[in-house]
Structure 1
Amino acid sequence: RSDPLLKIRTRSLSISPGKFIEARGATLYAGNVPVFYFPYYRRRLDQPPNHWSITPGYRSRYGMFFEGTYNWHLSDRLNGAARLDYRTLRGLAGGLDVNYDLSQAGQGDASVYILDDRDPQSGAGSRSGSTEFTTRTDRHRLSLYHSVNVHTNLTAKLLLQDQSDPFMNRDFFESDFRRNPQPASHIEIAKHWDNYSLSLLAQPQVDDFYQTVERLPELRATGLRQRLGSTPLFHESETSLGHFRFSPADDQLHLGEYEAFRADTHHQLLLPLTYFGWLNVTPHAGARLTHYDSRSGGDPALSQAGDVDRFVFNTGMELSFKASSTWADAQSSLLDVEGLRHIVQPMMNYVFVPEPSDRPWELPQFDRDLHSLRLRPIDFPDYNSIDTIDSRNVLRLGVRNRLQTKRLGEVDDVLNWELFTDWRLETAVHEARFNDVYSDLELKPRSWLLLGSELRYDPNERLLNESNHSISLLPNDRWSLTLGHRYLRDWSPDALKERYPYDPFFENLLDEDWRWGNNLVYSRVYYRLNEEWGFRMIHQFEASDGTMEEQSYSLYRDFSSVTSALRFRLRDHRSGKNDFSVSLMFSLKALPSLGLGDDSNRLETRLYR
């Protein structure tokens, strides 16, 4: 544009092409208004410029706020951002983010954020509707990630994440909190060969307000599936040993700390066979030996049990085949189809594990079954809840369907559908004969239209336990739309304790008012009004109690040299006052925090990715 929002007028200007510019007596203008005078100004042209991102606004739990970020770039190997924020209810805060590349010494990033919180209870109570808050005023968060390739296929990684209290991310870094509400720290060293790998993992409890299984440390050797000499047999193995400690959070007084040394090894033989040129049959058999030394803490009966050696035998068989058919002449302009190929893959996996020498309730639980909405593995080594292994006699049945076509010269999936369930030939306490039926479907009738469906149906009770449906449209760069519905059956606390008997969360922490289920409707709409303006709306409605949990509206403006966004958001926490915020963000277009169109929808079938 000939009329940029930001421009510099100068008395003299020197240019070294591709390297730098120097100006003397330079005045910075916003439009036609002078805003700053530089007696001397120099800017590098061979690297990104340093720049500010500024966000003023108001939020009910912050008061008026100003968030300023100075993004700096010293070299391709060292850059970062300095943060200075002020919130009228919470006070002054600041931080520093650094990204570095030390060449052979490794790469990583570090971040620190500190504030003297005037009113930490603003994150809870009448302002937010949450009953959880901290009384600490000196609050911080610290993170460090470093990765180095010590040698070929030998890597070392350090991840340190420390917070002053469990609500730091919730109150000030909401996107991080949604992705990972309980960040952990660890050190890992790993060496890989063609058929083997060796790793050393140390995972301490850095923050005592997070429940942690400490690994102090754990050494693990993995043997990948490989042929035994010239025989038709294949072998795979996994061996681990280490000192483990279950450390509950400091407010979980009803849970006891316990620890033990554990050595575990599992070896399995497989015999892959093919019949009739298309039927794949793989019988397998394995054995596992696990040793626990004298344990301390927790259940007194376990503490006095002394050393324990548990033996587990497993066997089973996998059957599968793949069939396909092609219709090269299939054409449809409506469905954007140019030829069709259908691939179907039925499969069956039988697993039998007789009763182990020691049952799960007789062992300390470090690697245990945790709650999951997805179908868990049933065979080893994919099933890695070592301390929860029990007898099993189950048949997993499933089928995968794919329908493909050519679009823009490339193969594209029109349909991708997976259907699985478990038939338990022998049932444990509180188990039904059939597991839930899981259905995952993605349908893409056009390159810009995607429909997704996830279903989990209980055939025993004839009840729908879970559903997740969505439709995403992205026909062009002007507008996009995502609509979705997510349903999760509301289980009673007693039913959850029966379903997950070894998960301490469900075993000890539920009260009668705790809700598991939801009936959520969500939408995301983006519309680009023209080359300069864009608009986005997000809504999240909980139908079970008629609550509009979240609604936000964003207006984007492209000023040629500067991008800006005006945002409104309202969250209903069901008790107390709603959380309302309005903010205005500015950043250089050369290095935008969010460019026009970057916030548009993507073709996806999940609420969060």
Structure 2
Amino acid sequence: MLSLRPILFILLPALLGLAGAQELNTLIKGAEATANSVEIESLQTTYDQTLGVFRAVGSVVVKYGETTVYCDRAEYHQGTGDIFASGNVTIYRPGNLSRGDEAVYNINTGEITATELETGANSFFLSLGEVTLPSENVDVIRAQSAFLTTDDSETPNWRIKARKIVVYPDRYVAFHGATAYVGKVPVFYFPYFVQPVNSELGYMVMPGYSDAWGAFSLNQYGFMIGEHTLAKAKLDYRSARGVAGGINLESMRFRGQPNFGRVQFYYAQDQTPNVTPGGRPRNQLIDSDRYRLNFQHRVYLPGPEESSLYLDVDINKLSDQFFYLDFFPGEFRYDPQPDNLVNLVKYHPRGTLSLLGRFELNDFYRTDERSPELALDLTRQPIFNGGLFLEGTTSFSVLAEDLAGFETLNIQDSITKAKADVNFLQSQEARATDEQLSVSLLRAQQQDLLLQLERTIDNRSYNRFDIFQQLVRPMQFADWLNVVPRVGAGYTHYSAVTARGLDGQLLESVDSLERPSLHAGVDLSFKLSRAYPGVRNRKIGLDQLRHILQPYSRFSYLAADDLSQSLPAIDRLAPTTKDRPLDVTRFTATDALRNWNIVRVGMYNRLLTKRNGGTFPWFDLNSFVDIYGKDPEFSREVSNLFNELRWNPLPWLTASVDSQLPLSGEYGFSEVNSYLTFQPKPNFNFSLGQFFLEDHPFFFDSNTTRLSTYTRVNDNWGFGTAHFYEAETDSLRLQQYTIHRDLSSWTAALGAQIRDNLGNDEFGLVFSLTLKAFPRVGTPTDLLNPTSNRFGGF
């Protein structure tokens, strides 16, 4: 490499004959200043002192900062900072490569001026006739006679050729007189066409077929309103249900946070509202005018900057309880009963103060209303500087809960049937002789049932004040035994307790109830470890091994009155297969607190190895069991044996098993959920899941196996499958088959799905075509994946 400093000494003899000592001194100082930033490498380099021009010929390489120019010939003009390059010119800047026959690069502005220039950035490739490429911090780039593609090959399989293009970096590209080509065949002509850079802008379409929707076409056009609001207009057609559409508004300030900054409206004039996706008639009549209106936002106060005081708003108004199921099944599986709340929050490192209002906006859902609930949650924090910590919660709530509309109708139907049965049995009882006793017994049973139905609580409400505070003192003895005692006390007061039946009759009324509580507990644990530096096996990802064994136990005692007989609870326990928390501060079913005496005994096993210069968890196993002195839910003496296993030996092999097995026959059940992902060969990978549940007191038995595979047949073709098999019913619940075709810069996929919906098979077919090289860019012919949240799933 030849830098400017050596050039001075090569030219020194000639310079001595042309200039005096003072002139030579000045020349050397000026050239040294340039030498600190520009380097020239070539077969022959000369310097014109009069013009201040360096000329280089033959395999020229000019470097300035992070920019490198390759060419056959070059001139560098010190005065202007221009580098004139010609002959096989290549200009490299980080993230950008430009090629052409002639180009001018200015080191002061970073601007490139050229004719017949090929350039690329962020997987865009452009061929430009006459263009000026400014520096990185530019607002607009203009070019004449250009074409654009994302296929980096001599013969791109698609391109857009335009008389003129205007590029607004990170925003959009405007084409004037544009023709779209597939290969060499022109397929579209656009006098004027704008393509946004953001994948959610511009036009997108997803066609397909399913038994639930018939033939469908989901269409979306994204555009900006101002600088901070992304709008998505939707117009969809489903042959089984008709035309639907709406608009979504999303705040760009909350990008990446799907729960804030969005408004969604969608309306459908449904042709078949009373037919389920499986084709069966519904028991309830649904109006054909169906809609959703959703508003989720966070407002920082005083704003607009983020602060510790903010207001969260989550409003979801639906026309009926089946709307998500019929039109947005992906959202239905994720959140079948959306909430409605407003929450004012003040955050502090020591705790959170919140004022929550939850209300019933959709009367077809059962909702616990809080109007309002004021809560203070204190995080664990030191007090008295003596190793003692305090944590706890305090709240005041005005609570109410109504039955859902369909629940009320179902119970009223049952009451009507029970009354008819009682009247019939009374008529039979008058005639009965030998069978009088059995008829009377049946009538008595039906009357008891009728009484229970008529006393069904349709509305329950009360006010509740609740406080619980706990002291924690972590300690360690003999540098190995960890002891964490806890002691806490709480008080709950209920007032204006009422419960009303379906006819509005007052079934229960209590002026005041109270429940003091006392909690005590202690955690014990210690660690044993041993290193095995000689254990190495690359096939299973082992580079040395350390085994850590941590036995632990947690004792929890709670004394609290059982109010279940006198309180129509709202915050109650829900059926689950998970273990209940033993810490009162994390127990959210406040109304269900009652005496317990539990010891949790467990063992934590961990195998650690070295990977990527750090410690890596190769294997984890947590096993524990609860032993009951007093069971708050049932009459158990011991819980199931819980095991939580994680194995991560290699990037292409992971496994997990969560299981619980009964240790006693009474109230015990079995659950095993296991999952494996494995890529045995570079062109084949699969995932296998098995989910087993048996003898649960509330949930049905299930034995489901899920298998998904992907096979890369060659560089251009791939094949994917997914199957769900339910052994309890001996049915293949779901089949999915997808063919993938690699089209260089594009990926095409054709997918088919068959679902067994309680004996009725549902069929679906979807085609997608997406840009592989630059998936952030949407094009006019984008056909999106059917599972995309942009369209609500399929």
TM band (smaller chain)? 0.7 to 0.9
**Displacement, 1:464?**
5.1
**Displacement, 1:22?**
5.0
Give the aligned residue type for 1:374.
Answer: K
Bigger Cα displacement from structure 2, 314-323 vs 457-466: 457-466
Partner of 1:234: 389
Bigger Cα displacement from structure 2, 376-385 vs 558-567: 558-567
DSSP 3-state at the match of 2:275: helix
Partner of 2:13: none
Give the aligned residue type for 1:304.
Answer: S
**1:451-530 alignment to 2 at 5 Å?**
451-461=655-665, 465-474=670-679, 478-491=683-696, 495-496=697-698, 516-530=700-714
Give the aligned residue type for 1:445.
Answer: P
Pick one of 311, 334, 339 that aligns with 1:184: 339
- With CA pairs under 8 Å and 6+ residues apart, which has the higher RCO, 1 or 2? 1
CA–CA distance in structure 1, aligned partners of residues 296 and 607 of structure 2: 42
The Cα offsets for residues 519-541 of structure 1, whole Å up to 9 and x where unpaired, read as: 10110112233444332211000
CA–CA distance in structure 2, aligned partners of residues 295 and 138 of structure 1: 39
Change (3 A) 1:69 1:586: farther
The Cα offsets for residues 91-116 of structure 1, whole Å up to 9 and x where unpaired, read as: 0011222221469xx96122222111
**Displacement, 1:245?**
0.8
The Cα offsets for residues 247-275 of structure 1, whole Å up to 9 and x where unpaired, read as: 22111224421111111111112232221
Instruction: Kindly indicate whether the alpha-carbon contact (under 8 Å) linking 1:4 and 1:559 is maintained by their aligned counterparts in 2.
Output: no
The Cα offsets for residues 66-102 of structure 1, whole Å up to 9 and x where unpaired, read as: 1122233567632242221111121001122222146
The Cα offsets for residues 175-194 of structure 1, whole Å up to 9 and x where unpaired, read as: 21112221212222211222
Give the aligned residue type for 1:581.
Answer: G
**Displacement, 1:57?**
1.8
Q: Does 1:77 align with 2:260?
A: no
**1:507-586 alignment to 2 at 5 Å?**
516-560=700-744, 562-575=746-759, 577-586=760-769
Let me know the Cα RMSD of the aligned residues: 3.0
Instruction: Kindly indicate whether the alpha-carbon contact (under 8 Å) linking 2:286 and 2:320 is maintained by their aligned counterparts in 1.
Output: no
Give the aligned residue type for 2:248.
Answer: D
- Which protein is richer in helix relative to its size? 2
**Displacement, 1:28?**
2.6
Partner of 2:575: 371
Unmatched 5+ residue regions in structure 2? Answer: 1-150, 412-456, 786-794
Give the aligned residue type for 2:460.
Answer: Y
Q: Does 1:293 align with 2:526?
A: no
Change (3 A) 1:252 1:37: same
Partner of 1:265: 467
**Displacement, 1:415?**
0.8
Q: Does 1:88 align with 2:239?
A: yes
DSSP 3-state at the match of 1:207: coil
CA–CA distance in structure 1, aligned partners of residues 712 and 625 of structure 2: 44
Pick one of 400, 407, 413 that aligns with 1:245: 400
Change (3 A) 1:123 1:565: farther
Q: Does 1:438 align with 2:642?
A: yes
Q: Does 1:59 align with 2:242?
A: no
CA–CA distance in structure 2, aligned partners of residues 148 and 530 of structure 1: 51
Instruction: Kindly indicate whether the alpha-carbon contact (under 8 Å) linking 2:195 and 2:202 is maintained by their aligned counterparts in 1.
Output: no
Q: Does 1:170 align with 2:325?
A: yes
Partner of 2:44: none
Partner of 2:22: none
CA–CA distance in structure 1, aligned partners of residues 703 and 758 of structure 2: 15
CA–CA distance in structure 2, aligned partners of residues 467 and 559 of structure 1: 42
DSSP 3-state at the match of 2:178: strand
Q: What's the % identity of the aligned pairs?
A: 28
Instruction: Kindly indicate whether the alpha-carbon contact (under 8 Å) linking 1:129 and 1:573 is maintained by their aligned counterparts in 2.
Output: no
The Cα offsets for residues 520-577 of structure 1, whole Å up to 9 and x where unpaired, read as: 01101122334443322110000111100011112233434544321100011133x3
CA–CA distance in structure 1, aligned partners of residues 376 and 529 of structure 2: 39
Change (3 A) 1:22 1:257: closer
Instruction: Kindly indicate whether the alpha-carbon contact (under 8 Å) linking 1:313 and 1:354 is maintained by their aligned counterparts in 2.
Output: yes
CA–CA distance in structure 2, aligned partners of residues 117 and 350 of structure 1: 57
Q: Does 1:109 align with 2:262?
A: yes
CA–CA distance in structure 2, aligned partners of residues 21 and 268 of structure 1: 61
Pick one of 36, 56, 59 that aligns with 2:188: 36
Instruction: Kindly indicate whether the alpha-carbon contact (under 8 Å) linking 1:360 and 1:390 is maintained by their aligned counterparts in 2.
Output: no
Give the aligned residue type for 1:273.
Answer: M
Partner of 1:198: 353
Partner of 2:540: 335
The Cα offsets for residues 148-196 of structure 1, whole Å up to 9 and x where unpaired, read as: 3326322221112222111111122222111222121222221122212
Pick one of 336, 350, 353 that aligns with 2:555: 350
CA–CA distance in structure 1, aligned partners of residues 758 and 737 of structure 2: 21
Give the aligned residue type for 2:734.
Answer: E
CA–CA distance in structure 1, aligned partners of residues 573 and 241 of structure 2: 41
CA–CA distance in structure 2, aligned partners of residues 137 and 570 of structure 1: 28
Give the aligned residue type for 2:212.
Answer: R
Partner of 2:42: none
**Displacement, 1:289?**
0.9
The Cα offsets for residues 38-73 of structure 1, whole Å up to 9 and x where unpaired, read as: 22345567x668333222222112221111222335
Give the aligned residue type for 1:135.
Answer: I
**1:15-34 alignment to 2 at 5 Å?**
15=166, 18=169, 23-34=175-186
Change (3 A) 1:301 1:280: farther
Q: Does 1:422 align with 2:626?
A: yes
CA–CA distance in structure 1, aligned partners of residues 541 and 297 of structure 2: 46
Give the aligned residue type for 2:265.
Answer: V
Give the aligned residue type for 2:727.
Answer: A
Bigger Cα displacement from structure 2, 524-533 vs 256-265: 524-533
CA–CA distance in structure 2, aligned partners of residues 318 and 445 of structure 1: 32
CA–CA distance in structure 1, aligned partners of residues 331 and 366 of structure 2: 19
CA–CA distance in structure 1, aligned partners of residues 777 and 331 of structure 2: 17
CA–CA distance in structure 2, aligned partners of residues 446 and 305 of structure 1: 62
**Displacement, 1:363?**
1.9
Instruction: Kindly indicate whether the alpha-carbon contact (under 8 Å) linking 1:53 and 1:593 is maintained by their aligned counterparts in 2.
Output: no
Please give the TM-score of this superposition, normalised by the length of structure 2. 0.67
Partner of 1:121: 274
DSSP 3-state at the match of 1:53: strand
DSSP 3-state at the match of 1:365: coil
Instruction: Kindly indicate whether the alpha-carbon contact (under 8 Å) linking 1:522 and 1:538 is maintained by their aligned counterparts in 2.
Output: yes
CA–CA distance in structure 2, aligned partners of residues 326 and 86 of structure 1: 64
Give the aligned residue type for 1:110.
Answer: V
Q: Does 1:145 align with 2:329?
A: no
CA–CA distance in structure 1, aligned partners of residues 631 and 327 of structure 2: 47
Change (3 A) 1:561 1:154: same
Pick one of 523, 526, 533 that aligns with 1:321: 526
Instruction: Kindly indicate whether the alpha-carbon contact (under 8 Å) linking 2:196 and 2:777 is maintained by their aligned counterparts in 1.
Output: no
Partner of 1:500: none
Partner of 2:481: 279
Give the aligned residue type for 1:523.
Answer: L
Unmatched 5+ residue regions in structure 1? Answer: 497-514, 600-609
**Displacement, 1:360?**
2.7
DSSP 3-state at the match of 2:274: helix
Please give the TM-score of this superposition, normalised by the length of structure 1. 0.86
DSSP 3-state at the match of 1:354: strand
Give the aligned residue type for 1:346.
Answer: P
DSSP 3-state at the match of 1:122: coil
